[in-house]
Amino acid sequence: MSFRGPRVAGAAVLCLLALSGCGLAPVPPPPQTSAAQTRAPASSVGAPAPAPAPAPAVSVSGFSTYERAALRVRNLGCGGVAVGSGFAIADHVFVTNRHVVVGAAVLQVSTYDGADITVNTVGAAVVADLAVVWTKESLPAQLRLAPSNPPVGAEVTAVGYPLGGELTTTNGRVLRYGPDPLGSSPLPMMYNDAPIEHGSSGSPLVDSSGELVGVAYAGGGGQYVAVPVEILNQVLKDPSKFSNGAGCG
């Protein structure tokens, strides 16, 4: 486990929270692939893991793209203060968990270098523990979404802010695909063994090339659960998969 970045001062029902007026903002398409980020699609679930791709480039500041794309989230709302994580997928859009943002009166968001980000609108998905957040300021980096789920055995890295503290990365492998342990979605979820803690909900799971393959939301006993990237891709392409209610859970 590694810890990066400065400290800064600073969960499931269906909701849509508009901090500057109610209404569901349009869901952006998945970010376009750049030449430097392309890779062959992952093989199907259960197939042998592919050979590791080259490690993602490290920025001048010493942080990889996926570390710079990770965000710290604090929810000040109905249940008090809750902490979580998220990651950028476009200049002004990031993804986190539905339970991280539900019931928020204020969302406090900060980047790897301690910059504060203003939230405009939040849309929560109805098919999985996912939420999409639109921001006022431009985000420092963004992740490319993999086109398909990683195979069992593939290496994954979780990047987030456990306990609302330091930027942390942990490594593991995809163990299997199975039912949602919380019973909130009928879709198959991705089990892996990259350790996460409270506050890591919404962390991105990236593959060996730095592409997003899952969104962490639960875990324990050596197995941690993420929403697979194929489900996230489906949600982003279809605004009907978002709710238009608001409330506390």
First to last CA, the chain: 32
Tens of pLDDT along 142-151? 999 999 999 9
Owning domain of residue 89 = 8-20+63-141+235-241
16 belongs to a structural domain: yes
In a domain, 95, yes or no: yes
Could you give phi then psi for residue 36, rounded to 5 degrees?
Answer: -75, -15
Q: Phi/psi of residue 163, each to 5°? A: 60, 15
Closest by CA position to 224, among listed 199, 194, 202, 204: 194
**Residues with catalytic function:** 99, 129, 201
- Total domain count, the chain: 1
Longest dimension (CA), the chain: 48
The CA radius of gyration of the chain, in Å to the nearest whole number, is: 16
Rounded Cα distance between 16 and 240, Å, is: 12
Give a yes or no: residue 127 inside a domain. Answer: yes
Q: What is the pLDDT of residues 38-51, one digit of tens each?
A: 333 333 334 444 44
pLDDT of residue 239: 77
d(C-alpha 89, C-alpha 27), whole Å:
12
In a domain, 152, yes or no: no
101 lies in some domain: yes
Indicate whether 102 belongs to any domain: yes
Closest CA to 15 of 92, 87, 75, 59: 75
Provide the whole-model pTM: 0.77
Residue 90 lies inside a defined structural domain of this protein:
yes
CA distances from 214 to 8, 149, 174 (A): 26, 8, 10
Structural domain contains residue 146: no
CATH code, 104: 2.40.10.10
Which positions of the chain have pLDDT values less than 50? 2-53, 60, 245-246, 249
